[in-house]
Structure 1
Amino acid sequence: METTYNVKLWKTSVYNGTRKTTYTVRWELDGKEWRQPFVTAALAESFRAELVVATRRGEAFSTATSRPLSHQTGADNTNWYAFAVTFADALWGRTSANNRKVVAKTLMTVTVALLRSPIPAHMAPVGVRTALREYGFNTKKRHQAPPETLMILKWVARNTMSMAAWEDPARVESVIQAISRKLDGNPGGREFRQA
């Protein structure tokens, strides 16, 4: 997990909209601006005060979640890919084959969107997607994966973000955008059906 001590805080900004007023706390980590809107000034000032206290204590901030380490939920200790595999396995015995395919395709797309680094040149993106869809999220076939597929899955396991990525609104938005598009980039999201 990457952290920083380079933190700047600004005064809470107020936006008077036609329907409601929004109070937004703004801060910067290593030059990247973060925002958190609130419906009342008291909530915004309380949150800002927590950031100020953490800064004065000399606490490190997570560059993934933008929050002080004391605010971490423990999600940064869980790898997304490991969680997704466990999720797929939990659904396996109680869902239809068609639903398993939908889940595997969805988890594949989300996993690629949550990679910390680009897919290496020696791995074809289609090969990574196939490895995830056909083996990584397939309880029955995972242990039958050929050596080159195992290599890809091990790389994915090392290079996916932690569950703390879901605490970053910008990251969640990028995942939603990935799910809402076909592999060729055109609109046409997948349906995710629960068991």
Structure 2
Amino acid sequence: MNTSYDVKFWEIRRNPTRKTPSYVTRWKVAGKVKSKTFRTKELANSFLSDLRRAAKDGEAFDIATGLPESMTDPPSDLGPTVLSFAQEYVARRWKASAARTRETDTYALMALVPAFVKDLPGKPDEAELREVLRDHALLPADRRAELPGNRAAVLRWLETASLPLADLQEAGVLRRGLDAISVTFAGKKAAANTVLRKREVLNHLLELAVEEKVLPSNPLREIKWTPPKSTEAVDPRTVVNPRQAGALLAAVTYVGRSRGPRMMALYACMYYVALRPEEAAGLRRENCQLPDEGWGMLTLEKARPQANKRYTDSGEAHDERGLKHRAERETRPIPIPPLLVAILREHIKRYGVADDGRLFRTAKGRPYTASAISRIWQEARAIGFGPEQAASPLAARPYDLRHAAVSLWLNIGVPATEVAQRAGHSVEVLQRVYAKCVEGQALQANNKITAALDD
């Protein structure tokens, strides 16, 4: 209970908005005006006398209800609050989740938990609430650091103000959460995929509440809410052709004294065999068959996705995981063209490998961060492209090299099943994501229609 001794009273007054006589008792607790209406002036005076007597006796008044402790009903068991159940949700999912999933869950809850609070005085600003949630409250208990005094006060306010989870059964309350995930923390409209990911976390949390019998049903199913339209399809404007890709890879070698040359083979793996960045980060010498002539083979078995250290099992920025969309120990063999074989052989000859056999790491042996991979790529684009291309979305991100590889394979007629196997996709996802990047189908369709009409 959040209480105060700052209490002021006003005289009884008649309610002028009603035809039937009624009387209003008004008072203020910690600057918040409270009122209660009675049918007779005697009842109103009696209630006011009780309030004044409690104040004279030195009782604290509850800020939320405006009532002294002696007139406040004992709290009923309303079940877990949104905050406490969010903490349980995180703890339940933590062990089985990858670091990136933990991070996604946390950032969704950082938007949702502050949306489901009571209007209590002394509310910290949104940034402070998010910081306490991120760094303490939404971590498993054994990972929480000691909070400094000012942040401990923020957490206490949040624990007091957090609504009972049962309140989310009210449509108006639940919509506050949907509004919160529809904007960024800076207050701008959020990307469609971000909104949908956060809504999925909210849905999972409510489904767990149903499973735990905290809620009778998932109230999200009853809300008429139109999700933003999102698309998984790759934008053809981002896809480079082989000549452009070659120019960009060459440009990488001109970035810095050693940074670019040391990273060129990593980008080459993303283009020539469509590796994801985390797959390239996990590539070891033992995964590579690099013959003197002809095609080689990469046998992928591990990935090293990057996440904040607070979410990884190792306490490092990269946790070793199984391959995406694969069982834990399942591998993915990928034939590699002679050009990439030569690039990898030269890379190993020049830079060697890490103690654990990893091919790609900094001069100090550390994995490359996502920001470093992006930064070097942007410098290479400025070198390898003219001003107009550099300002365009063409290969704007390193990941677009992977899209270019898959698009090339599909356009030259490699069967979709083979492309899906090499890229680590299902055929269904492949066709949905790369549908706009397959060229020539419209012309073929037009020719077939013309032939049919001429018959």
State the shift of 1:91 in Å.
1.1
- Name the structure 2 match of 1:182: 184
CA RMSD for the aligned pairs? 2.6
State the shift of 1:119 in Å.
6.9
The answer for unaligned runs of 5 or more in structure 2 is 1-75, 205-455
Deviations 1:94-130 (A, max 9, x none): 1111111111111111111001026726x33211111
- Looking at structure 1, the residues matched to 182 and 112 of structure 2 have their Cα atoms a distance apart, in angstroms, of 11
1:165–1:171 CA contact under 8 A, matched in 2: yes
Do structure 1's residue 135 and structure 2's residue 130 form an aligned pair? Answer: no
Output the amino acid matched with 1:107.
L
Output the amino acid matched with 1:81.
L
- Looking at structure 2, the residues matched to 75 and 102 of structure 1 have their Cα atoms a distance apart, in angstroms, of 31
Which of 82, 87, 92 is residue 94 of structure 2 equivalent to? 92
- Name the structure 1 match of 2:110: 108
2:114–2:126 CA contact under 8 A, matched in 1: no
Output the amino acid matched with 1:150.
A
- Looking at structure 2, the residues matched to 117 and 100 of structure 1 have their Cα atoms a distance apart, in angstroms, of 29
- Name the structure 2 match of 1:155: 157
Deviations 1:52-100 (A, max 9, x none): xxxxxxxxxxxxxxxxxxxxxx993221111111111111111111111
- Looking at structure 1, the residues matched to 77 and 105 of structure 2 have their Cα atoms a distance apart, in angstroms, of 22
- Looking at structure 1, the residues matched to 99 and 112 of structure 2 have their Cα atoms a distance apart, in angstroms, of 20
Deviations 1:33-54 (A, max 9, x none): xxxxxxxxxxxxxxxxxxxxxx
The answer for unaligned runs of 5 or more in structure 1 is 1-73
Structure 2 SS opposite 1:161: coil
- Looking at structure 2, the residues matched to 91 and 119 of structure 1 have their Cα atoms a distance apart, in angstroms, of 33
Structure 1 SS opposite 2:185: coil
Rg larger for: 2
- Looking at structure 2, the residues matched to 145 and 86 of structure 1 have their Cα atoms a distance apart, in angstroms, of 20
- Looking at structure 2, the residues matched to 181 and 119 of structure 1 have their Cα atoms a distance apart, in angstroms, of 25
Q: Could you say which structure has the greater relative contact order, defined with CA pairs below 8 angstroms and 6 or more residues apart?
A: 1
Report the count of equivalent residues.
122
1:61-80 paired onto structure 2 within 5 Å? 76-80=78-82
- Looking at structure 2, the residues matched to 129 and 96 of structure 1 have their Cα atoms a distance apart, in angstroms, of 22
Q: TM-score scaled by structure 2?
A: 0.25
1:134–1:141 CA contact under 8 A, matched in 2: no
Name the CA shift for 1:131/1:178 in 2 (closer, same or farther; >3 Å): same
Output the amino acid matched with 1:147.
G
Output the amino acid matched with 2:85.
F
1:75–1:162 CA contact under 8 A, matched in 2: no
Output the amino acid matched with 1:154.
R
Name the CA shift for 1:75/1:173 in 2 (closer, same or farther; >3 Å): farther
- Name the structure 2 match of 1:27: none
2:120–2:161 CA contact under 8 A, matched in 1: no
Structure 2 SS opposite 1:165: helix
State the shift of 1:171 in Å.
1.0
1:115–1:159 CA contact under 8 A, matched in 2: yes
1:113–1:174 CA contact under 8 A, matched in 2: yes
Structure 2 SS opposite 1:132: helix
- Looking at structure 2, the residues matched to 146 and 89 of structure 1 have their Cα atoms a distance apart, in angstroms, of 23
**Sequence identity, in percent?**
17
Name the CA shift for 1:119/1:130 in 2 (closer, same or farther; >3 Å): farther
1:110–1:175 CA contact under 8 A, matched in 2: yes
- Name the structure 2 match of 1:146: 148
Larger % of strand: which? Answer: 1
Name the CA shift for 1:173/1:149 in 2 (closer, same or farther; >3 Å): same
State the shift of 1:142 in Å.
2.1
- Name the structure 1 match of 2:166: 164
- Name the structure 1 match of 2:338: none
1:115–1:160 CA contact under 8 A, matched in 2: yes
State the shift of 1:143 in Å.
4.3
